[in-house]
Amino acid sequence: MRILLVEDDEILADALYRTLVQSAYAVDLANHGEQADRALSTHTYDLVVLDVGLPGIGGFEILRRLRARKSRVPVLLLTALDALADRVRGLDLGADDYLTKPFDLPELEARVRALLRRGHGSSTPELHHGRLRLDTTGRRLYYDDQPVELSARELALFELLLMREGRVVSKEHMVNHLYGWGDEVGTNAMEVYVYRVRKKLESYGCTIRTIRGMGYLMERFDGES
C-alpha cells in the first residue's frame, strides 16, 4: 500500500515515516503544500496522511482541491487545532478521519489500517484465501495457525493481489502501489517478487497467473488445498 505523508515538522515527519515504512507501506514524504498538491495530481495513493498547518498551500485547501478532482482516496487529517469548528470543517471538506496532535503512534497506525481496509471495501483486519489468513494488523501470514514466511515486500504484494482477487493487476499498478519516490525499481523487480510469492504459496492452494501483456491475477479460491 502506498501512502502520501504530508507533514512539515521534521522530527514528527521522520517518526511517522519510519513507523509507516516499518509496517511495510511504501511512503512518499512531502513537507510543503505545493509539493503535496503536485504529488496528489500526478500519483495514485491508497491513503493520504495530511497535516493541516503547512507552509504554502494549507491542508484544508489541499483537501478541497483533491475532492474537487473527484479523488476518493482516504484522507487522515493531522492537526494541532482542536476546536470543534476546525474538525467539522475538515470532515465537511471530505476528510475520512481526524487526529489531533499530540497523539500516540499506535493510535495513528490503527487509524491508518482502518482507513486502508475501508478504502478497499473490507471491515475486518483479516483477509482470507482458502486456509491462508493475512493478519493486516500484525503484518503476518498464516496457513491455519502456522506462520508462512514472506518478506515485507512479498507480503505487501500478496496483500495487493488478494485485495483484487479474481481481477488482473497490471505491473504498473503494482509499482505505483508498492514503491515510493526513493525506491529504485529494476525492470524485472516485479517479475522476481511475483515469482517468489507464487513459488512460496502454490502449495497452499494459491494460484497466481501471468496474463501476458496485461499483468497478474490471483485466482479465486474454490476448494481445499
Q: What is the pLDDT of residues 77-92, one digit of tens each?
A: 998 877 788 888 999 9
What is the grid cell recorded at 105? 503512534
DSSP string, 12-45: HHHHHHHHHHHTT-EEEEE-SHHHHHHHHHH---
Amino acid at 77: L
| Mean pLDDT of the region 94-120 | 90
The pLDDT, as a whole number, for residue 224 is 46
* Domain regions of the chain by residue span: 2-119, 126-218
Q: Which CATH number applies to 2-119?
A: 3.40.50.2300
Report the C-alpha gap between 190 and 215 in whole angstroms.
10
Spatial CB neighbours of 206, under 8 Å, sequence gap ≥ 6: 129, 130, 132, 198, 218, 221
User: Could you please report the per-residue DSSP string of 149-166?
Assistant: ---HHHHHHHHHHHHTTT
Residues 204 and 130: beta-carbon distance below 8 Å: yes
Is the model's pLDDT at 23 over the cut of 80? yes
Per-residue pLDDT at 181: 78
pLDDT at position 40 is: 96
Cα 123 to the chain's mean position, in Å?
Answer: 15
In CATH, 126-218 is 3.40.50.300: no
Write down the mean pLDDT value for the chain: 89
pTM: 0.77
Q: Which residue has the higher pLDDT, 105 or 137?
A: 105
pLDDT band at 38 (very low <50, low <70, confident <90, very high): very high
Rounded to an integer, the average pLDDT of 41-48 is 93
Q: How far is CA 164 from CA 25, 126, 167, in A?
A: 17, 15, 6
The pairing of strands 26-30 and 75-79 is: unpaired
Identify the sign of the CA torsion 61, 65, 66, 72: positive
Maximum CA extent, the chain:
56
Distances (CA, A) of 51 to 19, 48, 63, 110, 118: 16, 10, 10, 17, 21
In this predicted structure, what is the pLDDT of residue 225?
41
Comparing 2-119 with 126-218, is the CATH topology the same?
A: no
Average pLDDT over residues 46-69: 95
